[in-house]
A and B are shown apart, each in its own frame.
Chain A
Amino acid sequence: AQKITQTQPGMFVQEKEAVTLDCTYDTSDPSYGLFWYKQPSSGEMIFLIYQGSYDQQNATEGRYSLNFQKARKSANLVISASQLGDSAMYFCAMRENPPGGADGLTFGKGTHLIIQP
């Protein structure tokens, strides 16, 4: 079973509109972290926002917010007032905490977001 599921392969959004990118995850670990990264065509992965499994409030970073619904295992990214420069691939990722220490991130397949003028 996939650990991170992003159901939207691509999205077209009008400039200045808000956009929600979906992410569901699967883990039995009580302690985990959820991340969103942006990957423009240049290839670099740019960190956007983080949500810890024990965080009581939804994370926010500028125009980015994370709609965290723990019972549904959902961590959707919301971008407010979209801009042309937001056009990119967006990846949801999870870090679990296995015995023995930190491990790498598990990524979803991504959503290709295109902002239209």
Chain B
Amino acid sequence: DTGVSQDPRHKITKRGQNVTFRCDPISEHNRLYWYRQTLGQGPEFLTYFQNEAQLEKSRLLSDRFSAERPKGSFSTLEIQRTEQGDSAMYLCASSPEGVEVEVAFFGQGTRLTVV
């Protein structure tokens, strides 16, 4: 299967700990997005990469959140000093550039629970 892959699928952490999530996009896709989805809501856009360049990060929720895509392939999302309000599903999506309709394909997400 060559879809978007996210790891881990589930993460339980104690408040104050740091967590890191990984996303492997579809191999030929150069655009990569991170979203957060809380219970009962639609996904909320966080940040966006084109290849290794982070083109949009103003929507990151606080300076505790950071994302990287060092070689333009996989990406990581780190949350430092986690809080209970960070509990959510974190979704990654990828899309190709230069096509008539740019459809974002999503992974299955990482569900974070902060206790």
Contact = CB atoms under 8 A, between A and B. Distances in A.
B33 interface: yes
Contact of A43 (B31, B59, B111): B111
Interface string B80-115: 000000000101010000000111111111010000
Contact of A105 (B89, B101, B104): B104
B31 A50 contact: no
Interface string B19-30: 000000000000
Nearest to B33: A104
Given A102-B48, A103-B48, A104-B48, A47 B43 contact: no
Contacts, number: 62
**Size class of B's contact patch?**
20 to 34
A57 B111 CA distance: 39
A100 B33 CA distance: 16
A77 B6 CA distance: 29
Interface in A65-117: 91, 93, 95, 100-110
A29 interface: no
Contacts of A4: 42
Contacts of B93: 45
B103 A47 contact: yes
A67 to B, nearest CB: 19
Contacts of A108: 42
Interface in B20-56: 31, 33, 35, 40-46, 48, 50, 55-56
A44 B109 contact: yes
Contact of B89 (A43, A95, A110): A43
Nearest to A93: B42
Contacts of B111: 43
The 6 closest A-B pairs by CB, nearest first: A107-B42, A104-B45, A45-B106, A44-B108, A43-B109, A91-B42
13 contacts: A35-B103, A35-B104, A43-B109, A44-B108, A45-B43, A45-B91, A100-B55, A103-B45, A105-B45, A107-B42, A107-B43, A108-B42, A109-B41
